[in-house]
Amino acid sequence: MSMMHASGVKDAITATSVPPTASLMRWVIAATLPGIATMSYFFGLGIISNVLLAAAFGVALEAAVLRLRQRPIRVKLNDSSALLTGVLLGASLPPASPWWLIGVGMIAAIVVAKQLYGGLGHNPFNPAMVGYALLLVSFPTYMTLWAPPQELLPNDLWAQIAGTLPTAQLDSLSGATPLDAFKHKGEAVLASEFWAASPLPDGTLSAWRWVALAWLAGGAVLLAKRIISWHIPVAMLGSVLLLATLFYLSDPSHFASPLFHLLTGATLFGAFFIATDPVSAATSQRGKLLYGAGIGALVMIIRTFGGYPDAVAFAVLLMNLCVPLLDLYSVPRPTGQQKASPGKPGEQP
């Protein structure tokens, strides 16, 4: 992660003052606290251990690679970008993920997705989502250990973090998220029948909605402080809302409601904290709108027709691939530059 989209930055290339990167990063980290606290309240202190471990791995790996590259370690670490990547990846993982799983994810995020491309400001892909996508594809069992709402300090917390819990006990801890349960309800099961006899434990859907609202509160802080602009979140959420409404109106017996898609999974977290990474996102205002809309559309397409129930990470990474094209056709000319005139034959341009 690098500087977030400052709403004061216009399309025209002008000399504007942008807050220091470290200050922006720390504001983003502070804005994640409502979401992390709410997740911990419902899903246990394992969420906090994820964040702390991922942040520690991020700082340590960044320092190690900078040393190998013979770059100034203290200066680079002070921008807090590695810390923020760890916080975002840690908050994305199931509670009490084992330490080695978090370490593998952070190696992919910091070493592969960030430093191998040149470090801060040069990464074409969102580092946290590269780490998350790698873990989701490589370790699906651990990545689905979303237990139902539980005690703040479950009995098995330390064994889970250490990775010493037997496989059979790990299976007993896993539970479907609302998105996962609805996606795999079966073609023959109508939506009304699913909700009438929901397989979700009591309080699960409510917990996810409170978590989503907490991420929304953090996002509102970023908007109010002008750390991010509204273009990407509004475009992404609008795209999700539009497609979810169309699907739902076409067949409400099989498709979930738009509110379900907005308030479950990582929709709001992704809109405010993931998609707004300026290094891997589009730069102009028109490009941001297209970028955000593309992420929202991909989220709904993958959730509805793909193999994964959430899809925010894959949607962000796929749109990262489109950023060069979006920037090519959406970034305006610098202020004062005139469009070239064809002129008369023989006349100097």
Residue by residue, pLDDT tens for the chain (349 residues) are 444 444 444 454 444 444 588 889 999 999 999 999 999 999 888 899 999 999 999 999 999 999 999 988 888 898 999 999 999 999 999 987 899 999 999 999 999 999 999 988 899 999 999 999 999 999 988 887 787 777 666 667 777 777 776 666 666 666 778 898 888 888 788 888 888 887 888 888 999 999 999 999 999 999 999 999 999 999 999 999 999 999 999 999 989 999 999 999 999 999 999 999 988 999 899 999 999 999 999 999 999 999 888 899 999 999 999 999 998 888 766 655 555 454 444 444 3
* pTM for the model: 0.86
Q: Give dist(CA 58, CA 5) in Å, integer.
A: 22
The dihedral through the CA atoms of 11, 13, 14, 15 has a sign that is positive
Q: How far is residue 174's CA from residue 156's CA, in Å, rounded to a whole number? A: 13
In this prediction, residue 8 carries a pLDDT of: 45
pLDDT tens figures, 241-290? 999 999 999 999 989 999 999 999 999 999 999 999 988 999 899 999 99
Residue 19: predicted pLDDT? 54
Specify which residues 175 forms β-bridges with. Answer: 145
Q: How confident is the model at residue 288, as a pLDDT? A: 96
- Report residue 313 as tokens: 């990470």
- Specify whether the CB–CB gap between 81 and 1 falls below 8 A: yes
pLDDT of residue 161: 74
